[in-house]
Amino acid sequence: MSRYLVTGGAGFIGSHLVESLLAEGHAARVLDDFSTGRRENLPPAAELILGDVADPATTSAAMAGMDGCFHLAAIASVARAAEDWPGTHRVNLGGTVAVLDAARARRVPVVFASSAAVYGDCADRPLTEAAPTHPLSAYGADKLGSELHAAVATGVFGVPTVGLRFFNVFGPRQDPASPYSGVISVFAGRLRAGAPLVLHGDGEQTRDFVFVADVVAALLAAMAWRGGTAAVFNVCSGRATSIRELAATLAAIAGLPPRLTEGSPRPGDIRHSLGSPEASRAALGLGPPIPLAEGLAAVWAWLGRP
């Protein structure tokens, strides 16, 4: 049994991780400010510290007695980072530095959420971890900054770190009502409400969708990994799906006719994003990804729960 701190543990990905940690017999302590996370996402067995990850005293107190830290707390939206640059920077980079600083006294291993946003509009397909990083958003810049600080934590202070570059994560508990939510939860929510699905642009842009259970498996494997150096790995499926194809697949699962409308393209929208899962599969021993249709069925069932 180990004791883990999960920052952002009341959020979408974090709450699935907390469930898995508890199911494996570990103890989980959550540091969250409930800005987008919810208390009802947390199993009763999780210990909760309500506070700000970017406050060094709070994060240092939360780290006390822990065997490892999963750092997921962030303002996880490109759009919000554009609206409030200094505020999101304080949390998205400042929070990571506070976590790494709190970890360094006892060299507590840290696995943290980076993002495919670090690649920006790099045209490589698929994107390997060796591809150049050119973030196009403040959000992506702070994730890249988090990776650089983690390399310092490992190289200079001996803190084991692994950064995971999540691609487009989806699954139950992603809030369909939030304007900042991912396209799958938005589409599922609109299908259920009988509303048309809005394609931003022609719908031929593609994404690499990865189901949340695969992300949790990668987080757990990364905590067990001891490569010795600061590492970053993609967490992706390695499959490209166009937004149009996504809409059709989801509508078929729902048994509803897809009603599509074309809206204006999103400014700065990346045309294609596809990750290579090879390095993470080899290093972390991950199995094949959960098929998109299976994950979509889980989202649809979750939305229709009583």
Question: Which chain residues interact with ligand NAD by CB under 6 A?
Answer: 8, 10-14, 31-37, 52-54, 72-76, 91, 95, 113, 115, 166, 168-169, 182
Partner from ligand UD1, ligand NAD, none contacting 271, C-beta within 5 to 8 A by type: none
Contacted by 181, from ligand NAD, ligand UD1, none: CB < 5 to 8 Å by type: ligand UD1
Could you say which of ligand UD1, ligand NAD, none residue 78 binds, taking C-beta under 5 to 8 angstroms by partner kind?
A: ligand UD1
10 neighbors 30 (Cβ within 8 angstroms): yes
The residue among 106 and 266 lying less far from ligand UD1, judged by its C-beta, is: 266
The CB density around residue 156, as the number of other CB atoms within 10 Å, is 9
The listed partner (ligand NAD, ligand UD1, none) that binds 198, CB under 5 to 8 Å by sort, is ligand UD1
Residues 6+ apart with CB under 8 A from 306: none
Q: Which two tokens stand for residue 224?
A: 């067990």
CB 93 within 8 A of CB 100: no
Q: Can 139 be counted among the known catalytic residues?
A: yes
Do 127 and 276 touch, CB atoms closer than 8 A?
Answer: yes
The contact set with ligand UD1 (CB under 6 A) reads: 76-78, 115-117, 167-168, 180-183, 186, 198-200, 205, 207, 243, 266, 269, 273
Q: From the CB of 147, what's the least distance to ligand UD1, in Å? A: 13
* φ/ψ (deg, to 5) at 302: -65, -40
For residues 96 and 112, the answer to whether their CB atoms sit within 8 Å is yes
Smallest gap, in angstroms, from Cβ of residue 180 to ligand UD1? 6
Q: How far is the CB of 263 from ligand UD1 (least distance, A)?
A: 7
Tell me the C-alpha to C-alpha distance, in Å, between residue 94 and each of 54, 167, 217: 5, 22, 27
Q: Which residues have a catalytic role annotated?
A: 139
